[in-house]
Amino acid sequence: MAEYEFFKLNIEGPIATVTLSRPDRMNAMGVGPWKEIHLIQDEIEANREIRVVIIKADGPHFSVGIDLKDLAGSSSDFVIDNINRLQRTYTRWQEMNAVVIAAVHGLCYGAATEMICACDIRIASEDAKFGMQEVRFGLSPDMGGTQRLPRLIGAGQAKRLILACEEIDAKEAREIGFIEIVVPREELYARAEKLAKKIVNNPPWAVRFGKKAINASLDSSIAGGLLLEQIQSTFCCGTQDQKEAIQSFFEKRKPEFQDK
C-alpha cells in the first residue's frame, strides 16, 4: 500500500477506508489532495477484492472544501487546462464497481459536499453541517455540484443551497434527501462499517449491477433502464454466486460467494 500526504488508506479484505488526514487545514481540498484521490482510486480499482469504500476524516471536521490559498492562485488558464481531469476525480467514486459510503461529521462545505454527492450512500453524525459556498467567492460549483445535487434533493433545494449559500444541519439534510442516515457522533463509523458489511455479504455481481442500474436511471429513459435490467438479469442468472445465494438460503447457512 502506498503512503499518502493528505489521506490514509486502509484495506481490510473487501472494505477499503479512505481517511482525509489534513486536520491542521480542516481537511481542505485542493490540487494536491485531488491528485492523491486519483492515485488512491487507482489503487482501489486495481484490487478486485475491494467491494466497499468508506470515506471519513480525521479531526473535528470532515472538510471545509477547497483551500482558499489554492483558489486565490488559480486562473482561467489553469481551470481550462485542469477542470475536466479534476471533475473526473469525483466521477470515479460514482462509476467504480465498489459501493462508496461517505461518513461525515462536523463541517462539510463546498468541494467536499460536491465529493459526497458522487458517493453512493451518505451517513452523517448529528453534528454535521453542509454548505455550498462557491457563489460567495464569485464562482459556481464546478466539481459536479450543480449536476448531482439537484438529482439528490431537487432543483429548488439545490438553488437555495448554491445561490443563497445556506447551511443545513444533518437533520434537515436527511429531511430533504441529501443524507440517508443520521446517527450520534460516537456511532458514525460503526454504522458505516455495519452497512459496508451488509453490502459485502451479498453476491458481488448483483451489487455491481444494482449500483450501475440505479445510476443509469438518473440519466436514461425508462426503456434504456429496463434494457439494462434485462442484461444484468440474464448475466446474473448464470452465475455460481446466484445459485449459491438460493441454495444457502434453503440450507439455512451463510453463503460462500466466489465472485463467479
Give per-residue burial for 220-230: e unless 16+ CB within 10 Å, then b: eeeeebeebee
DSSP string, 146-209: HHHHHHHH-HHHHHHHHHS---EEHHHHHHTTS-SEEE-GGGHHHHHHHHHHHHHTS-HHHHHH
Q: Which residues are catalytic?
A: 114, 134
Separation CA 12–CA 202 (nearest Å):
17
> Comparing C-alpha atoms, which of 28, 18, 129 is closest to residue 72?
28
Q: What is the dihedral of CA 149, 54, 203, 187, to 10 degrees?
A: -100
Contact between residue 199 and residue 51 where contact means Cβ atoms under 8 Å apart: yes
Helix (H, G, I), strand (E, B) or coil at 100: strand
Name the region of 131 (left: φ>0; alpha: ψ -120 to 50; beta: rest): beta
Separation CA 63–CA 25 (nearest Å):
9
